[in-house]
């Protein structure tokens, strides 16, 4: 009973983070449709920075940020600025369900990065899990990816490639955090990374700012992205990294597609095919094996 009570807060935060980040695909699609990819990402991190900065000052952690600001600002671009822009670009062409299923490959990329960076070489079922996971990605992308415009002028191939590049960034960021920022408070990393991402995206965002005035709905979507899906979510995420480790924290991507697909169907009338669900199941199975969550008895 004591163990259950001790772990309950982390379980609650874990599920909450999956639900929040699942909604990020919906809000990103709504915001990017009017703002464009770069401005949508820039506004998102800017709002998140404005939300987190007062909390950082209230906790008296500004000095800690000044001691690590270069590393944290760089992390901001790696873990927020670049992947947020890539996903905003992707969601202009593909559904929230498809992009969230591709996002489930984050732990696979995380395992590969840990293998190369920390020499944490996978063995046995972990290697099989990596192969299964990436096979699922190939199956999912095979029928969806095309670098030729379809009837409506949409090129899905670049969108899918952008999602996978974003996942690689997340995998790199998890190991980067473990290597250089172990012991740094989660709020410092969350606030500082959004400040760094804001500085990195401010000029490109202004350059590509839409000529028309975005609607109130698009602004509200980005406010929700900035405060809920970035500010609050990153505090939860870095708390999980600090307490559970990067590999276990990245398993939150198991929950994200579930919530994202439901939100897409309910609010955007998106369709989910049997093939998508099958490929998603293969990706998640491979990810579970690669993280040693799913064990096959011999």
pLDDT at 74 over 80: yes
Q: Which parts of 104-232 fold into alpha helices (H)?
A: 106-118, 125-142, 156-180, 186-207, 216-224
Say what the pLDDT of residue 5 is.
42
Tell me the C-alpha distance between 70 and 204, whole Å. 21
Name the token pair of 291. 């993280």
Say what the pLDDT of residue 154 is.
67
19 membership: H or E segment, kind and range: helix 2-35
Say what the pLDDT of residue 258 is.
85
CA distance readout (Å), 289 to 130, 133, 170: 8, 9, 19
Range from 23-27, 98-102, 149-153, 206-210 carrying the lowest mean pLDDT = 149-153
282 vs 56, higher pLDDT: 56
Quick count: other Cβ atoms within 10 Å of Cβ 185? Answer: 18
Q: What are phi and psi of 237, to 5 degrees?
A: -65, -50
From the centroid of its chain, how far is CA 59? Answer: 26
pLDDT tens figures, 96-123: 988 988 888 888 888 888 888 877 676 7
pLDDT tens figures, 254-292: 788 888 889 999 999 988 888 888 888 888 888 777 766
Single out the residue of 55, 52, 81 nearest to residue 231, CA to CA: 52
Provide the whole-model pTM.
0.86
Single out the residue of 37, 50, 49 nearest to residue 190, CA to CA: 49
Would you kindly state where each structural domain of the chain is located, as residue ranges?
Answer: 2-290
* pLDDT confidence bin for 2, thresholds 50/70/90: very low
Single out the residue of 191, 173, 247 nearest to residue 69, CA to CA: 191
Question: Quick check: 89 and 150 in contact, CB under 8 A?
Answer: no
Q: CA gyration radius for the chain? A: 19
pLDDT tens figures, 163-174: 999 999 999 998
> How high does pLDDT run on average in the chain?
86
* pLDDT confidence bin for 1, thresholds 50/70/90: very low
Residue count of the chain, please give it. 298
pLDDT at 135 over 50: yes
| Cα 215-216-220 angle, rounded to 5 deg | 120
Name the token pair of 20. 């929040």
């Amino acid at each position: 009973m004591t163990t259950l009570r001790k772990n309950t807060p982390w379980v609650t935060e874990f599920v909450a983070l999956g639900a929040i980040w699942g909604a990020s695909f919906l809000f990103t699609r709504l915001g990017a449709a009017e703002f464009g990819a770069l401005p949508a990402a820039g506004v998102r991190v800017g709002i998140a920075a404005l939300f987190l900065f007062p909390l950082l000052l209230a906790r008296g952690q500004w000095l800690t940020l000044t001691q690590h600001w270069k590393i944290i600002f760089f992390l901001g671009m790696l873990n927020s600025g670049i992947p947020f822009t890539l996903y905003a670009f992707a969601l202009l062409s593909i559904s929230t369900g498809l992009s969230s299923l591709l996002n489930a490959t984050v732990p696979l990329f995380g395992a590969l990065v840990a293998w190369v960076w920390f020499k944490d070489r996978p063995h046995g079922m972990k290697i099989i899990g990596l192969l299964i996971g990436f096979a699922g990605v190939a199956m999912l992308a095979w029928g969806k990816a095309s670098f030729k415009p379809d009837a409506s002028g949409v090129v899905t191939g670049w969108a899918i490639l952008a999602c996978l590049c974003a996942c690689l960034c997340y995998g790199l960021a998890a190991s980067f955090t473990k290597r250089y920022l172990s012991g740094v408070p989660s709020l410092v990393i969350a606030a500082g990374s959004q400040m760094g991402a804001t500085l990195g995206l401010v000029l490109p965002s202004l350059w590509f700012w839409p000529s028309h005035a975005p609607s109130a709905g698009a602004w509200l979507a980005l406010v929700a992205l900035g405060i809920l899906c970035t500010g609050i979510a990153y505090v939860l995420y870095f708390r999980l990294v600090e307490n559970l480790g990067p590999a276990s924290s990245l398993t939150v991507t198991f929950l994200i597609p579930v919530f994202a697909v439901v939100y897409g169907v309910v609010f955007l009338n998106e369709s989910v095919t049997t093939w998508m669900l099958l490929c998603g199941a293969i990706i998640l199975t491979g990810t579970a094996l690669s993280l040693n969550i799913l064990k096959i008895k011999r």
